[in-house]
Amino acid sequence: MADEELAEELPSAPPVAPPPPSRKLRKWLWIALATLVVVPILVFGLWSFISLTFAYSEGERAGYVQKFSSKGWLCKTWEGELSMVNVPGQAQERWFFSVRNDSVAQLISAAMGTKVALQYAEHRGVPTSCFGETDYYVKGIRHVPEP
């Protein structure tokens, strides 16, 4: 009972808070956080820039635009299909392409049903389909006279 009386008489000490993290630890936490967030964003941006700036190949394909539409939930891109027939009576070859320029997309829409030649650049390794669903990006159109 004497112990209980002593415990009642002594004021209880307030709880002691743990010491704040040292400045060095906080500095390293910020560096680690910045490294985990900023570096992947920079790598993604650099990869996107390089893959969209430098073309793997460039060329031209001729045929009839069969299908052309704007697609995507967040990133709207123009996607199309060109029907290429080398010899009449043979099966057609279909070529899928993307368009990033709205003025070129309007020209392609106006030329549907006529024979056209599409100038394109192939960009391999584009990191996301937000830039287009295919590797082939049309950058110009030329009307081809029918024989």
- The whole-angstrom separation of Cα 115 and Cα 119 is 13
**pLDDT given at position 139:** 94
Q: What is the mean pLDDT of residues 95-116?
A: 93
| 71 and 95 together in one domain | yes
Question: How many CA atoms are closer than 13 Å to the CA of 30, on its beta-carbon side?
Answer: 7
* Residue 143: strand pairing partners: 116
Does a structural domain hold residue 26? yes
| 40 and 99 together in one domain | no
Structural domain boundaries, residue 131:
55-143
| 59 and 49 together in one domain | no
> Cα-flanking dihedrals φ and ψ of residue 73, to 5°?
-85, -55
Q: How many domains does the chain have?
A: 2
- The whole-angstrom separation of Cα 86 and Cα 58 is 20
Confidence check: pLDDT of 50 > 80: yes
Greatest mean pLDDT among 21-35, 84-98, 112-126: 112-126
| 33 and 70 together in one domain | no
| 61 and 46 together in one domain | no
Q: Considering the chain, what is the average pLDDT of its residues?
A: 85
Confidence check: pLDDT of 24 > 70: yes
| 36 and 92 together in one domain | no
Q: CB neighbours (10 Å) of residue 131?
A: 17
Calculate what percentage of the chain has a pLDDT beyond 70. 88
